[in-house]
């Protein structure tokens, strides 16, 4: 989402690094470019104004003029002030008697039902027993959609057609209490726009069940309209937090920067894709690093830990370092890597020079290459995957035909595989001395 903003800011930082000392005019020129970049990213004008004023005041002060590397000091200030603008992390309040009730509200199309499933999966991974409640009787197939998600997650869904949402919510709370559920997630109805009927119903539900969290689900791709929506809900419902969905979209992304500063409602979760795994607890420091092109290694590690089986990963690593890994091992690693998320998101999370190099790659090309590689390996027999030396010309023609590729693609993959084998064998013989050069 922040690709254009990141690119603009990195150009500004590159210009700053070319100057040994920074004058007040240099800082002012940089701040003008940063201001334009933020406005183009659809950040609220009042947030931009306050942000630039704070950075400029610090940028022309002693902490920069006395610094050994003034440009790096300015970048550090931008990062710190961006984190301050994004607000402090705020975790879910899951205290008090069980079941703890989380009520999701929002307009139609914001992704509430999917967000309910993502949140259920997230909380279950934290050891909670979760009950989902289908409290949207108006949108066609809303109940069926939540029930489908519940089946995928193996999480029960409470639904009672014909019962008004406030009464349905009260019954669901009683069911959760009797059934020993620790968390109840309520998927409420939305409307195409803010109206009295929607707010009255949400207020009635709130009075009946007294939720510990009321989370507004907002589509981040709506830009500044997301800020207006949050303001509208905050005036009628006791909002405790925000869930920003579609953070993987191609919009300008300014809502994520503006919404906390304008509404004072904390962001608690970011939806980063369509899959039920694509939910991140909000961390302003990590988000700021990604916006500024510094990557997010912690996020990358967390995704890897969730996607990879630790024992299997250790065994595969040992095979790779011995140079004895097979194409079956290679295919297993590709599948696990793809479970971490879209390749474009993973590239954005890579830091420093690795991140800059990765961002020069078209994510669509990389994704297509991964799919093609997987298709080629899947077209091989198990024996061929374990012993690639068997792949003569006729076998390669059969594999190309079965994977929808050409023989040259199969040959290219085999060459890459053989080069990887040689590389890891060489590294092992050299005692890993070549490793720093790979990542330097």
Mean pLDDT along residues 276-300: 73
pLDDT at 221: 77
Give the neighbor-by-neighbor strand order of the sheet with 279-281.
157-158, 130-135, 183-188, 100-105, 213-219, 241-245, 267-271, 279-281
pLDDT tens-digit readout, 316-354: 666 665 656 778 877 777 766 666 666 555 555 555 444
3-state SS, residue 198: helix
Tokens 């509208």 locate to 232
Is 50 exceeded by the pLDDT of residue 96?
yes
Amino acid 52: pLDDT = 92
Q: What percent of the chain has pLDDT over 70?
A: 78
End-to-end CA distance of the chain: give it in Å, rounded.
28
| Average pLDDT value over all residues in the chain | 80
| Residue 354 confidence (pLDDT) | 44
- Rounded to an integer, what distance in angstroms lies between the CA atom of residue 240 and that of residue 233? 11
pLDDT (mean) for 37-53: 88
Q: Are 39 and 48 in contact (CB under 8 A)?
A: yes
CATH 1.10.390.10 assigned to 3-86: no
Each domain of the chain, given as residue ranges in start order, spans 3-86, 100-294, 300-439
Kindly report the CATH number that applies to the domain delimited by 100-294. Answer: 3.40.50.300
Most confident option among 89-93, 137-141, 164-168: 164-168
Q: Is the pLDDT of residue 57 over 90?
A: no
- 427 pLDDT band, cuts 50/70/90, is low
Give yes or no for residue 131 having a pLDDT over 80: yes
Nearest by Cα to 207 from 101, 129, 130 = 101
Q: Specify the range with the lowest mean pLDDT, choosing from 58-62, 80-84, 427-431.
A: 427-431
- Mean pLDDT over 51-61 rounds to 87
- Determine the topology of domain 300-439 in CATH: 434 Repressor (Amino-terminal Domain) (1.10.260)
- Kindly state the average pLDDT of the residues 96-100: 89
The pLDDT of residue 435: 41
How confident is the model over 7-16, as pLDDT tens digits? Answer: 788 888 888 7
CB 410 within 8 A of CB 396: yes
Q: Is the pLDDT of residue 295 over 60?
A: no
Instruction: Report the distance separating Cα 15 and Cα 29, nearest Å.
Output: 10
Tell me what pLDDT residue 297 has. Answer: 46
State residue 440's pLDDT score.
Answer: 35
223-278 per-position pLDDT tens digit = 778 888 888 888 888 999 999 888 776 555 677 788 888 888 889 998 888 888 88
The predicted model scores a pTM of 0.67
Q: Give the tokens for residue 210.
A: 């007294």
Fold equal for 3-86 and 100-294: no
Q: What is the pLDDT of residue 100?
A: 93
pLDDT band at 438 (very low <50, low <70, confident <90, very high): very low
- Using an 8 Å Cβ cutoff, are 269 and 238 in contact? no
Which of 64-73, 133-142, 407-416, 426-435 is least confident? 426-435
pLDDT reading at 103 higher than 60: yes
- Of 63-67, 153-157, 173-177, 188-192, give the lowest mean pLDDT range: 63-67
The pLDDT assigned to 49 comes to 92
- Looking at beta carbons, which pairs linking 338-343 to residues 24 or more positions away fall under 8 Å? 338/370, 339/277, 339/306, 339/307, 340/300, 340/303, 340/304, 340/306, 340/307, 341/272, 341/273, 341/275, 341/277, 341/278, 341/303, 342/248, 342/273, 342/367, 343/367, 343/370
**What does the pLDDT look like over 359-407, one tens digit per residue?**
555 556 767 788 888 899 989 998 998 888 899 999 999 999 999 999 9
Phi, psi of 250 (to 5 degrees): -105, 20
Contact call for residues 139 and 108 (beta carbons, < 8 A): yes
């Amino acid at each position: 989402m922040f690709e254009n903003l990141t690119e603009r800011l990195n150009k500004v930082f590159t210009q700053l690094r070319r100057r040994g000392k920074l004058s007040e005019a240099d800082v002012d020129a940089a701040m003008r470019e940063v201001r334009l970049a933020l406005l183009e990213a659809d950040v609220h004008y009042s947030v931009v104004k306050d942000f630039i004023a704070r950075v400029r005041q610090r940028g022309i002060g002693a902490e920069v003029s006395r610094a050994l590397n003034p440009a790096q000091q300015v970048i550090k200030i931008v990062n710190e002030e961006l984190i301050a603008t994004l607000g402090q992390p705020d975790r879910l309040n899951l205290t008090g008697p069980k079941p703890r009730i989380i009520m999701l509200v929002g307009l139609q199309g914001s992704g509430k039902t999917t967000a309910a499933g993502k949140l259920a999966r997230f909380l279950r991974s934290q050891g909670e027993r979760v009950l989902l409640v289908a409290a949207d009787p108006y949108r066609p197939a809303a109940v069926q959609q939540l029930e489908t998600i519940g089946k995928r997650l193996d999480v029960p869904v409470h639904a009672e057609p014909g019962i008004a949402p406030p009464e349905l919510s009260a019954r669901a709370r009683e069911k959760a209490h009797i059934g020993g559920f620790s968390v109840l997630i309520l998927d409420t109805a939305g409307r195409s726009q803010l109206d009295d009927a929607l707010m009255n119903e949400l207020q009635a539900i709130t009075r009946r069940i007294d939720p510990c969290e009321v989370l507004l689900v907002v589509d981040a791709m709506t830009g500044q309209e997301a800020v207006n929506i949050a303001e509208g809900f905050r005036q009628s419902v006791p909002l405790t937090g925000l869930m920003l969905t579609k953070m993987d979209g191609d919009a300008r992304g300014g809502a994520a920067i503006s919404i906390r500063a304008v509404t004072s409602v904390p962001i608690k979760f970011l939806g980063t894709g369509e899959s039920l795994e694509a939910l991140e607890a909000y961390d302003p420091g990590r988000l700021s690093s990604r916006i500024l092109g510094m990557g997010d290694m912690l996020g990358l590690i967390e995704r890897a830990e969730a996607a990879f089986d630790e024992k299997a990963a250790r065994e595969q690593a040992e095979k790779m370092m011995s140079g004895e890994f097979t194409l079956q091992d290679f295919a297993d690693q590709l599948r696990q890597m793809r479970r971490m998320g879209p390749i474009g998101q993973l590239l954005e999370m890579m830091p420093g020079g690795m991140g800059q190099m990765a961002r020069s790659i078209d994510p669509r090309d990389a994704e297509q290459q991964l799919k093609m590689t997987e298709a080629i390996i899947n077209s091989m027999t198990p024996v061929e995957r374990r012993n690639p030396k068997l792949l003569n010309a006729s076998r390669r023609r059969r594999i190309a035909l079965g994977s929808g590729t050409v023989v040259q693609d199969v040959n290219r993959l085999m060459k890459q595989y053989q080069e990887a084998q040689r590389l890891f064998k060489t590294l092992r013989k050299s005692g890993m001395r070549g490793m720093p050069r790979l990542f330097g």
